[in-house]
Amino acid sequence: MLRFTFGTTVKYGDKMAHYEDWEKLPEETKDLERARQSLVEELEAINIYQERIDTTRDVELKKILEHNMDEEKEHVAMLMEWIRKRDRAQDRKFEEHD
């Protein structure tokens, strides 16, 4: 099954296909793409945990899921911090947006 993700990649199973020749891309571009894709995956995980938290009736399980979701949020923050250091245009958007 093909799953289109935002931007430059198509996800097919566990493999990432790219619109451009991956081998020709600079390492900096590859790392930014890895970080951005990881960010997408962390945000998806937060949504999944939130749904599970909202639907479970087990209090102990809810606490575990909340803990796990908080860890995913920490990962989002870490990734955004890394991206901001390496993509100055993205960093400026945090300061200049409407």
- Out of 2-6, 27-31, 72-76, 79-83, least confident range: 2-6
| pLDDT per position as a tens digit, 61-82 | 999 999 999 999 999 999 999 9
86 lies in which domain range?
26-93
Q: Is 21 inside a domain boundary?
A: no
Q: Is the pTM here over 0.85, yes or no?
A: no
Mean pLDDT of 73-97: 96
Q: Is 88 inside a domain boundary?
A: yes
Q: Is 70 inside a domain boundary?
A: yes
Strand partners, 3: 11
Q: Is 35 inside a domain boundary?
A: yes
In this prediction, residue 18 carries a pLDDT of: 77
- Alpha-carbon distances of 70 from 21, 86, 93, rounded to whole Å: 36, 25, 25
Pairing label, strands 15-18, 9-12: antiparallel
Confidence of residue 17 (pLDDT cuts 50, 70, 90): low
Domain count, the chain: 1
